[in-house]
Amino acid sequence: MQSLPAEFLAEALRLAREHARSGGGPFGAVITNGSEIISSGGNQVTRANDPTAHAEIVAIRAACQRLGTFRLDGCVLYASCEPCPMCLAAIYWARIPRVIFAATRADAAQAGFDDAAIYAELARPLAERTVRMEHASVADSAGPFQIWKANARRVDY
Amino acid sequence: MQSLPAEFLAEALRLAREHARSGGGPFGAVITNGSEIISSGGNQVTRANDPTAHAEIVAIRAACQRLGTFRLDGCVLYASCEPCPMCLAAIYWARIPRVIFAATRADAAQAGFDDAAIYAELARPLAERTVRMEHASVADSAGPFQIWKANARRVDY
């Protein structure tokens, strides 16, 4: 088992190179369960016209489809680069407990990607962000939560 | 035009109530361009077995498919609740310049959702997070970026 993490990370980097060569974003990810690769993915943003199709998101969606679940509790995610805030938050929502990555957000910034900038934006108060965010006080904003909590058929996540 | 923002937000809340009633997550989102609704979505996490299928992500992906682009520069996103870090980062990647929301991350936390907790996790240094994150120093971690920068056919995003 000892050599597996290095092999899984090497596979994530191989996918990143492959996608970089074919004109996709230079990122790859692999999700494992024990010694098995459950899913993998490369960045598809420009080819699929999907700004959410980062390698990690592609791999998380594929793993969940394969396993028939929205939770990946027992899995490990290997990424060619430190996950951006979107992907890291998706890792939390998917309940993936462990992430191993090669390049850093600083490396991504040097290559022209906004990962580090978006981390900085998310840490700012709403009023100081470049995205204009407005909290509209409306009377029924809690309505959906009340309906959900009262719904006995709801599935918590 | 003055009444439209309130109508779009009301539609996001209507979608949130609809999904809450049918057992989905109690969230809805609408993306507009001027006076037109481009796409909308409700939370599909548990029904689609997709932890990334938050209302905002569903709406962003649908808007990009409809417009044939990975950039939504001219659009506004209306959300029944303040976007979680995954969705907010996706908003940045999609270059959506403006977000209007009803409920807050505190309201979501009260209903049992982890939005606020994940915001706090992302602000922590790697070593202090509940997700175990390991930076593996490997020799070729910059390789994908080098290939990408040298690829004349690449599409920047």
- What pLDDT, in 10s, does the model give residues B71-116? 999 999 999 999 999 999 999 999 999 999 999 999 999 999 999 9
Q: What are residue B32's phi and psi, to 5 degrees?
A: -120, 155
Q: What is the pLDDT of residue A4?
A: 80
Q: What is the pLDDT of residue A24?
A: 86
Q: What is the pLDDT of residue B23?
A: 81
**ipTM value for the complex:** 0.96
Instruction: Give the closest residue to B56 by CA, choosing from B81, B37, B29, B76.
Output: B29
Residue B91, token pair as written in the block: 């908003």
As a whole number of angstroms, the distance between CA A75 and CA A78 comes to: 10
SS3 B104: coil
Residues 56-95 of A with CB under 8 A from B: 57, 60-61, 64-65, 68-72, 80-82, 84-86, 88-95
SS3 A75: coil
Whether residue A7 lies in the annotated active site: no
Least confident of A20-24, B68-72, B99-103: A20-24
* DSSP element (H, E) containing A44: none
Least confident of A61-65, B21-25, B136-140: B21-25
How confident is residue A1, by pLDDT bands cut at 50, 70 and 90? Answer: very low
How confident is residue B3, by pLDDT bands cut at 50, 70 and 90? Answer: low
**β pairing state of A36-42 and A76-81:** unpaired
Write the DSSP symbol of residue B131. S
DSSP E strand boundaries for chain A: 28-33, 36-42, 76-81, 98-103, 132-135
A110 burial (CB, 10 Å; 0-12 / 13-18 / 19+) is middle
Contact between B101 and B78 (Cβ < 8 Å)? yes
Q: What is the pLDDT of residue A23?
A: 81
Exactly one of A7, A11, A36, A56 is catalytic; which is it?
A56
DSSP E strand boundaries for chain B: 28-33, 36-42, 76-81, 98-103, 132-135
